[in-house]
Amino acid sequence: MKILVIEDNHDIMHIVNFILQDKGYDVVSCKDGSAINHLDTIKPDLILIDELLPTMKGSQACSILKADPTFKQIPVILTSAATNLKEIANDCSADAYIEKPFDIQAVTDLVENLLNRKIND
């Protein structure tokens, strides 16, 4: 299973990549929202995206994906330290959200649950 991690904080990206790769996932990373323009070649099974990116908000990218019939089935997890993250995630139709700072086990559990749900649908 391939996971696209879009995160502008290098340290957080490195930790998340390491943990997900350790769990056996193929991880592709990007530091800005430009990766959503290459989903047809990346072909992710899940996207973990930060809300506060340099070029575009994660919620904007999520809204674009969820409006596109080709990509709307890809689970999206929105991450941020924003206090209203639940509302932001609901507004952009994210499948889930994780507030920063986050527990690594919570991230891996959520990723596994969403991927299992996708497989079983």
Q: How many CB atoms lie within 10 A of CB 16?
A: 24
The pLDDT score that the predictor gives to residue 94 is 98
- Give whole-number Cα distances, 119 to 14, 33, 40, 107, in Å: 27, 26, 19, 18
The pLDDT score that the predictor gives to residue 63 is 96
Contact 22, 107 (CB under 8 A): no
Q: Which residues of 67-80 are buried (b: 16+ CB within 10 A; e: fewer)?
A: eeeebeebbbbbbb
**How does DSSP classify residue 54?**
S
pLDDT band at 31 (very low <50, low <70, confident <90, very high): very high
Question: Which tens digits make up the pLDDT trace of 96-107?
Answer: 999 999 998 999
The pLDDT score that the predictor gives to residue 117 is 87
Classify domain 2-120 by CATH number: 3.40.50.2300
**CA distance linking residue 109 with residue 65, whole number of Å:** 23
- Give whole-number Cα distances, 96 to 11, 32, 63, 111, 121, in Å: 22, 20, 13, 9, 17
The pLDDT score that the predictor gives to residue 33 is 84
The pLDDT score that the predictor gives to residue 1 is 94
121: pLDDT strictly greater than 80: no
Question: Which tens digits make up the pLDDT trace of 51-90?
Answer: 999 888 999 999 999 999 999 999 999 999 988 999 999 9
